[in-house]
Every structure is written in structure tokens, then in C-alpha cells.
């Protein structure tokens, strides 16, 4: 799952970027991780915009099985 991948890869990437930024006095060094995080968030939002709500199969369950919201 995404949670497992992020749990494994997140600390490794954070350590890599911390080691890379060691001794740098400019905040530009931290721009790469923020851009990566922003792109991943936008990608997740794009994927969710195409997701469909699960529903009942009317052919399988019949019309009486569908509960209309009130």
C-alpha cells in the first residue's frame, strides 16, 4: 500500500536530503523535497478526481436494493 511504501521510502529520502544539505546555508537546498512532495500531492488529487463512487450493481441486486439518499 501507499502507506507502507511511504513508511519505508520516506525516512530514506529524508536522510538523503539532509545529508545533501549538510553545511548549506541557503534554503534553496530544501526546494527539491518540497517540489517532490507538491507534485505527489497534485498527482494524488488528480487520481482522486477520476475515481468513481462505488455503487450497487442493479442487474445483480435489482432496483429494490438501491437505497436513495434522503
pLDDT, one tens digit per residue, over 17-52 is 888 888 777 777 778 888 888 898 899 999 999 988
> What is the reported pLDDT for 47?
92
> What is the reported pLDDT for 43?
93
> What is the reported pLDDT for 69?
66
Q: How far apart are CA 60 and CA 37, in angstroms?
A: 42
CA distances from 40 to 2, 25, 51, 56 (A): 12, 27, 17, 32
* Set of cell numbers at residue 42: 497534485
The torsion region of residue 62 among left (phi > 0), alpha (psi -120 to 50) and beta comes to left
pLDDT class for 63, splitting at 50, 70, 90?
A: low
Amino acid at each position: 500500500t501507499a502507506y507502507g511504501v511511504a513508511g519505508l521510502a520516506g525516512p530514506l529520502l529524508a536522510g538523503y536530503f539532509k545529508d545533501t544539505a549538510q553545511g548549506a546555508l541557503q534554503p534553496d537546498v530544501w526546494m527539491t523535497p518540497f517540489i517532490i512532495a507538491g507534485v505527489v500531492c497534485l498527482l494524488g488529487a488528480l487520481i482522486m478526481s477520476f475515481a468513481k463512487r462505488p455503487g450497487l450493481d442493479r442487474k445483480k441486486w435489482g432496483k429494490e436494493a438501491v437505497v436513495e439518499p434522503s
